[in-house]
Structure 1
Amino acid sequence: MDKELIAQLTQWHEDGEHQKIVDTLMEIPPVDRDYEGISSLARAYNNLGHYEEALEQFAMIAEQGQNDLLWYDHNSIQG
């Protein structure tokens, strides 16, 4: 993903605009979403209380997430 989009997603996360994150990332075809995009989408779903959707997204990047320190923070999903 380009740096501008990542910066925008980060700002929305900090502002609690999780639905904007979901809406924006859902416009990107699944095959074109990278690790960062999928992780952001999963975190936004989690913050919206959509735990099943969050888990589905995290499952797609589980192997890659093993080396990501934020992975363990993202996966403190309640549900």
Structure 2
Amino acid sequence: MNDLLKKIVEWNEANEYQKCVDAIEAIPEEERGYELTVLLGRAYSNLGVLGDNNSKANEDGVDIFQLEKAVNIFESVRLQGLDDWYWNCRMAYALWMTSGRELEALAYARKWQQLKSDDEDAANLIKTIE
């Protein structure tokens, strides 16, 4: 499993989000666990906003289907994620990019900042949303 996690981190850093999705979805859902589930949500969120290999970087729109899928994946591990700064971070970003859900995103961004007070990205997202 550690090798897979390393590959997922590498693919994410290389903007190869579809590889992340394919690798994680090859594992039965009941065997993924919390960490892989959150990473799957992140991959879908990145696909929705950036596209594979940042193919959407210069486009104005987002893929709402991918973002909604990401939010649903994050929701599936809500109980485990509520006190995890990273889960709140990913939920905040996915909701922020989903039109009409900015106030929901703000609540998660604030929780993220509460859990990881030294994270400038949390503070920046809060300022952007407010």
Coarse TM-score class (shorter-chain normalised) = over 0.9
Tell me whether 1:47 sits opposite 2:46 in the alignment. yes
* Number of the residue aligned with 2:75: 59
CA RMSD of aligned residues (A): 0.9
Q: Which consecutive aligned stretches of 4+ in structure 1 deviate over 3 angstroms post-superposition?
A: none
CA distance in 2, matches of 1:14, 1:68: 21
* Number of the residue aligned with 1:18: 17
CA distance in 2, matches of 1:3, 1:34: 13
Query: Could you list the runs of 5+ residues in structure 1 that have no partner in the other structure?
Result: none
Larger Rg: 2
Query: Could you list the runs of 5+ residues in structure 2 that have no partner in the other structure?
Result: 49-65, 99-130
What is the percentage of aligned positions where both structures have the same residue? 35
- Aligned-pair distance for 1:72? 2.0
CA distance in 1, matches of 2:32, 2:74: 13
- Aligned-pair distance for 1:57? 0.5
TM-score normalized with structure 1 length: 0.92
CA distance in 1, matches of 2:3, 2:83: 24
TM-score normalized with structure 2 length: 0.58
Instruction: Letter of the 1:14 partner, please give it.
Output: E
Quick one: higher RCO (CA 8 Å, sep 6+), 1 or 2? 1
